[in-house]
Amino acid sequence: MSALHATALAGGDRSRLGTKLPARERLALLLDEGSFAEDGLLANALDEGLPADAVITGSGTVDGRPVAVIAHDPTVKAGSWGRRTVDKQIRILERADRDLLPVFYLVDSAGGRLTDQLGFHPGPRGAARIFHLQVRLSGRVPQLCCLFGPSAAGGAYMPAFCDWVGMVDGNASMYLASPRIAEKAIGEVVTLEEMGGARMHTSVSGCGDQLCADDAEAIAAARRLLTYLPSSWRERPARGPARPPARTDWDGVLPASFRSAYDVGAVVDRILDEGTFFEIKARWAKEIVIGLGRLDGHVVGIVANQPKVRSGAIQVDSSDKAARFIAFCDAFNVPLVFLADIPGFMIGSVVERQGIIRHGAKMVAAMSSAEVPRFCVVLRKAFAAGYYAMSCPGFEPRATIALAGAQIGAMAGEAAVNAVWANHIAAIEDPAERAAFIAGRVEELDAELDAVRLADELLVDAVVDPTALRGELERRLAAAQGWERSQDRRHHGAFPV
């Protein structure tokens, strides 16, 4: 091997890595041993002597599946982008588009080199071409990002166009302008963590999907996520070995009172195969829970209201969270199971000013346009337009299943009584008479909302006890395995919303 090869493989100054792994060690953790075929190793080796020009690109396999990789090298000019850096990334993305290869982005870059602006910024083979290809790939192949360090300025959009972003706590950051530039430009004094750190993006902005302790954890999570996905939109997720759920006992899981909170994770544990739930965006918009898992070995997407957070009412951020995930599952042929226990969309002037109607419409539109098999399960209650967003019968789910004792309606009985008979109730002077009137009307309305009454009217397909729910879903999912898209149309991407 020549000295140029050796220099390129060695990379740059490792003293600046701190707790971070070198780029080639990251690739070794990601890819199957001996599978990596590298492109452009000697890029910029003669003119400036920059090892691989700060980015490692090529193809390899993950658990035997061919993938494309982009790995920034922070030891070489802080992983910054010049003309050749950009061209290498464009070339591998063009190949991924041509050959339908999932793409792993191992991001750790200070952004474009201001000393090479004509090389990386304005032209048809500039950085914009990278983002154009990412959008073209969206919904065609999985794009998974491990963010180990900075992703700065325009380069911050590389993670943003990915389907999943794992961010390393304490090291990863995303920002359009650094704190120093923000102070100079708009007078804001802010820390890097506040501006674009991993904890902020995984809990406040929603730009990050998972907070990871270190590089190895982020790579392991990305590898695991790929096991739930097909290599492209033309395929279906592979079935894995079937396992029983982690728990089968339902005593005490669902409180009798609709006002009482509980953790919907306990329901997920009793439906999915043990140890298979891969939660996404767990730290953000916690009133809704999303993630991938297996049911009798089959991959499914879970969209579940979380009663222990804000009563499970859908908010602005949770609308966006669910909409993006639903589109992602539909793009990659993953059936969806909606677990509804919802009082409705959040109300009040604060959320109205935030555009709850507009954001809620995104979730409803994503759900309505998803052609993968959808199943709606009403755990305790499903009221108002929140029921619509959770794939109610009007949106043609494969089945609507309610647990015994569940209620479905435009409004809970007690609230409806106070709305409809407010003046009559106010006119009743005797407290006992007033209470009896309210109780009678609530009982009448509750009877109308009961799941059995709705099943009698063919408004739900099945009413089951909790212990029978998993089996009911297994059978219905098995019956839907031969599903096909309704028409030959251009496939959509899982775009940000």
Token pair, residue 157, equals 């959009």
Helix (H, G, I), strand (E, B) or coil at 180: helix
Is residue 135 one of the residues assigned to a domain?
yes
Torsion on CA atoms 229, 230, 232, 236, rounded to nearest 10: -120
Contact 476, 398 (CB under 8 A): yes
Residues 298 and 200 in one domain: no
Burial of 442 (0-12, 13-18, 19+ CB in 10 A): middle
Average pLDDT, the chain: 91
Judged by phi (left if over 0) then psi (alpha if -120 to 50, else beta), residue 297 lies in left
Mean local confidence (pLDDT), 208-234: 98
pLDDT tier at 359, thresholds 50, 70, 90: very high
Lowest-confidence region among 124-138, 286-300, 381-395, 402-416: 402-416
CA torsion sign for 313, 279, 36, 6 is positive
**Residues 292 and 215 occupy one common structural domain:** no
pLDDT value at position 2?
Answer: 84
Residues contacting 57, CB < 8 A, separation 6+:
38, 39, 40, 68, 69, 70, 71, 88, 89, 91, 92
The answer to whether residues 390 and 338 touch, using CB atoms and an 8 Å cutoff, is yes
CA atoms of 113 and 395, how far apart (whole Å): 50
Indicate whether 223 and 150 sit together in one domain: yes
Pick 189 or 469 by higher pLDDT: 469
Q: Which pLDDT value is given to residue 88?
A: 97
Instruction: Supply the pLDDT for residue 305.
Output: 98
Q: What is the pTM (predicted TM-score) of this model?
A: 0.93
Whether 110 is covered by a domain: the verdict is yes
Contacts of 59 (CB under 8 A, 6+ apart): 36, 37, 66, 67, 68, 69, 92, 95, 101
Same domain, 132 and 11: yes
Residue 355 counted as domain residue: yes
Final residue before a domain boundary, out of 182, 203, 228: 228
Q: Is residue 311 part of a domain?
A: yes
Residue 192 and residue 269 in one domain: no
Binning pLDDT at 50, 70 and 90, where does residue 1 land?
low
Q: Is residue 441 part of a domain?
A: no
Stronger pLDDT, 487 or 368, i.e. the higher one: 368
Q: What pLDDT shows up at residue 492?
A: 57
Residue 272 lies in a domain: yes
Residue 214 and residue 275 share a domain: no
Give the least confident one: 119-123, 297-301, 314-318, 381-385. 119-123
Q: Do 275 and 197 lie in a common domain?
A: no
Q: Is 18 left (phi over 0), alpha (psi -120 to 50) or beta?
A: left
Q: Do 38 and 164 share a domain, yes or no?
A: yes
User: For the residues 58-66, what does the mean pLDDT come to?
Assistant: 98
Q: Are residues 187 and 281 in the same domain?
A: no
Q: Structurally, how many domains does the chain consist of?
A: 2
Tell me the residue range of the domain where 464 lies.
264-405+450-480
Residue 287 belongs to a domain? yes
Query: Considering 207, 228, 249, which residue would you say is the last residue of a domain?
Result: 228
**Domain-located, residue 7:** yes
Residues comprising the chain, all counted: 497
User: Cβ neighbours of residue 476 under 8 Å, at least 6 residues apart?
Assistant: 375, 398, 399, 401
Q: Are residues 216 and 304 in the same domain?
A: no
CATH number at residue 272: 3.90.226.10
- Radius of gyration in angstroms for the set of CA atoms belonging to the chain, rounded to a whole number: 26
* pLDDT tens, position by position, 419-449: 677 777 777 777 887 777 877 776 777 777 8
Neighbours of 193 (CB within 10 A): 15
Mean pLDDT in residue range 304-317: 96
Write the single-letter amino acid at 33: E
Q: What is the mean pLDDT of residues 373-400?
A: 95
pLDDT the model gives residue 310: 93
What is the dihedral sign for C-alpha 225, 227, 230, 231? positive
Per-residue model confidence as pLDDT tens digits over 238-268: 999 999 999 999 999 999 888 899 999 999 9
Same domain for 123 and 196, yes or no, is yes
Co-location of 96 and 194 in the same domain: yes
